[in-house]
Amino acid sequence: MEVVGSTGTTIVNSTASSSRPSVLRIGALFTLNSVIGRSAKPAIMAAIDDVNANTTILPGIKLEVILHDTNCSGFLGTVEALQLMENDVVAAIGPQSSGIAHIISQVANELHVPLISFGATDPSLSSLQFPYFIRTTQNDYFQMHAVADLIDYYKWREVIAIYVDDDNGRNGVSVLGDALAEKRAKISFKAAFTPGAPKSDISDLLNGVNLMESRIYVLHVNPDSGLEIFSIAKKLGMMTSSYVWIATNWLSSVLDSSENAGTNSDTLNLLQGVVAFRHHTPDTNLKRSFISRLKSLKDKETKNFNSYALYAYDSVWLAAHALDVILNEGGNISFSSDPVLHNTNGSMLHLSSLRVFNGGQQFLQTILRTNFTGISGQIQYDTDKNLIHPAYDILNIGGLGSRRIGYWSNYSGLSVIAPEILYEQPPNTSRSSQQLFSVIWPGDTTNTPKGWVFPNNGKPLRIAVPNRVSYLDFVSEEKNPPGVKGYCIDVFEAAINLLPYPVPRQYMLFGNGDINPDYNDLVYQVSQNNYDAAVGDITIVTNRTRFVDFTQPYMESGLVVVVRVKEINSSAWSFLKPFTAEMWCVTAAFFLFVGTVVWILEHRHNHEFRGTPRQQLNTIFWFTFSTMFFAHRENTVSNLGRVVMIIWLFAVLIITSSYTASLTSILTVQQLTSEIEGIDSLISDTQPIGIQEGSFAKKYLIDELNVAPSRIVSLKNQDAYIDALTRGPKNGGVMAIVDELPYIELFMSNTNCEFRIVGQEFTRSGWGFAFQRDSPLAVDLSTAILQLADDGDLQKIHDKWLLKNVCVAQLSSDQSYELSLSSFWGLFLIIGIACFLALTLFFIKVMCQYKKFSTDTEDSADEIQPHGSRRTTRMTCFKGFIDFIDRREEDVKEIFRQNTKRKETTQTSDDPSTSHI
């Protein structure tokens, strides 16, 4: 066998023959006298016996175990690990502590001896730093995601994590924070205490967290000391209603180790209402038989056994299966000295006794690809060295024991159906599919706690209120009695009164009272914890939402442009304004065109459309314009003429109705005008623009619309608005004012509608109440505001403070009331097509008649004249066609009858038989 290192020597296991060893040794490294250790030790010994008794696994080889006690000490654990490795063990079962696992994993890495842990759940142990660390229990990464799903299920947003400040506690809570962030929740405070902390330190820690808002506590501690925390919390009154305690799997391990008919009732009294997690292991006959076997042991050190006993048992079998595969594949079990591990001069440490397991890497890979069913379930690893199908039971402790309220698995999330059943169905982690049974919370209540209260430090909610100098209807200081009042205050008070819990509060004015305060600064002060909230006419804009949380908007708002307008008086020529000049010209042209078309269609049939040329011209004009009033006296007798007239009269009806409506509006509605038509024309201008002091409008105009700062004038109050708009830009005033719609509506109503809004709102936002980041009160108040709106109370408060005179005058530009051709081109198109089709059909009919007429005429001429004169007759065809059109339809038909009769007479005279008779 190849020598390891330049001076190393290969040493084959002394118990090994040339082919298979007779004895294989594995180590067991954990704290024997602990909740986990007392369950794991008899399970490991039972596994050793079962492997040796099984002739299909490691036949002819005796498996031995060497136990070493780590005594919950990282230092002693390291020493014990080194002593264990001196025995040339091929694997070490343990440790149970994640902190010790971090240390002795370095030893395992150096000696290539796999650590198969049944109790170290620290998520960071799965990193590449620890290649020889393998666990047969669940990674806390999954447990913390299960806790996060439970918190999200009850819609809590802040929790306090209480944990032991060691590797397992810190790393587990870190994963919990990441999992909560994915659910838009967070750990508001990390309450850590040192391992083995005295009661006084734990009491001080719990007193501190009891003064905080959150009432959701996630307890991630060691099984041997965790109950002490509940005992102290009970004395501090923290196990009553409104509190929520979520314990990780340490608590179920304690209860499972002691739970039987003689369970200590004092312990259960401490835990009433607690929700705990437990490793889920399928309830199989193999598992029940094994637990029954362990309970029958006479020398057992525990009353019952927790899930760690199952994982410890399967750990031994995992090592045995992998060793059997290696030996069956022809591998050897051998150890080699490592030149790096040599005795230091003058040192009592015999490092040369530590040898490297030559087959460690092969053994490790064999373990990771092993797949079998143990008493804890399926033992199979994914690419991250985690067991597949991680799952947990969720327990609710109450009465004389605990009951299962559901399960969690990374396959389907929260469910009341066992995970092994769900594995046979498609995965479904949607929110609607999450389900748990009801929970009895601390205080013996089934109502889900809201998860937070006001800090129990005697301080009311500090609410900042802007100390305004204008628009005092929205919010203002009240002198007698001292306080605040206004529309915004009434909305906030009404919403607070809808909450199911009292909210102590103190209003604090923000600003010096000389000018309106800067609202951006007000919001920033809330984010810096100088105030708990801000109540007032605070607009929800993007840069403010980066610092604070806003409630649901209680009033819609947006920036508008207000100007001073001039009234337009009706002139003597107002009757021409309903139509544009183009519309008038086209309408007149169509009147003449339709009159001409009707004359053409009726001229041959209707004697009213005949006469001298002067009479016919008068008829066309009279008939055309009389249709405008439906007063035409001439009747249409031709079918084509009637069709055209029906369509034309319909068009006239629409045109006259539109004219009447537009003229009525012009003469009856007050018209106003302004040089500014909206925000676009205001921006393109160079005149000064007024804004309200403290408003976000200044920043918006400069940053978003690129308005020069020199154009913007800050105005203090409504009187300043009136003065600036009245004087205008030429006299030191402003062209227009940009402000939020609620202010402008109140301003216009207070000034008898002398000023008007031009254009549309060019921003969309609303007013809301500002709270510190992640404040649960913001969510509850949003619900209350929606309820106020649904009940109509929000509108009543609005009418109480802001219902004023409504300005209804219409602001118009010169063309806003004129009807253009674009509104009627479709109608004129229909008329034109109808006239064209009617004329086409008319001329086709006339051409056919004329052709027949011409043929009959030529035949008559042939009887009288020689053929040579026929050419002269054809040259007069066009003049004859015009004359033919001018003839009456009755005359034409009479000619056709005479020609037909003549032909019949001619044929009779030419027939010989007729002549003979």
Q: Which are the contacts of 215, defined by CB distance < 8 A and separation ≥ 6? A: 242, 243, 244, 449, 451, 452, 453
Q: Give the ranges where 329-478 is alpha helix by DSSP (H).
A: 360-368, 419-422
Task: Using the structure block, give the residue that is written with the tokens 């089709």.
Answer: 837
Cα-only R_g, the chain: 49
Beta bridge partners of 219: 162, 247
Q: What is the pLDDT of residue 15?
A: 39
pLDDT at 342: 65
Q: How far are the Cα atoms of 281, 283, 307, 851 from residue 288, in angstroms, in the given order?
A: 11, 7, 12, 114
If 0-12 CB within 10 Å is exposed, 13-18 middle and 19+ buried, where does residue 803 land?
exposed
**Cα atoms in the 13 Å half-sphere on the side-chain side of 678:** 8
CB atoms within 10 A of CB 462: 16
Say how many C-beta atoms besides its own lie within 10 A of residue 671's C-beta.
20
The pLDDT assigned to 710 comes to 92
Place of tokens 């690419």: 383
Q: Coil, helix or strand for 759?
A: coil
pLDDT number for residue 606 = 64
Which positions of the chain have pLDDT values less than 50? 1-18, 261-262, 670, 809-815, 864-875, 914-917
C-alpha to C-alpha distances, 197 to 163, 173, 206, 223, 774, nearest whole angstrom = 11, 19, 13, 14, 32
Query: What is the spatial distance between Cα 246 and Cα 321, in angstroms, rounded to a whole number?
Result: 38
CB within 8 Å of 684: residues ≥ 6 apart: none
**In whole angstroms, how far apart are CA 834 and each of 594, 620, 714, 726?**
10, 19, 63, 57
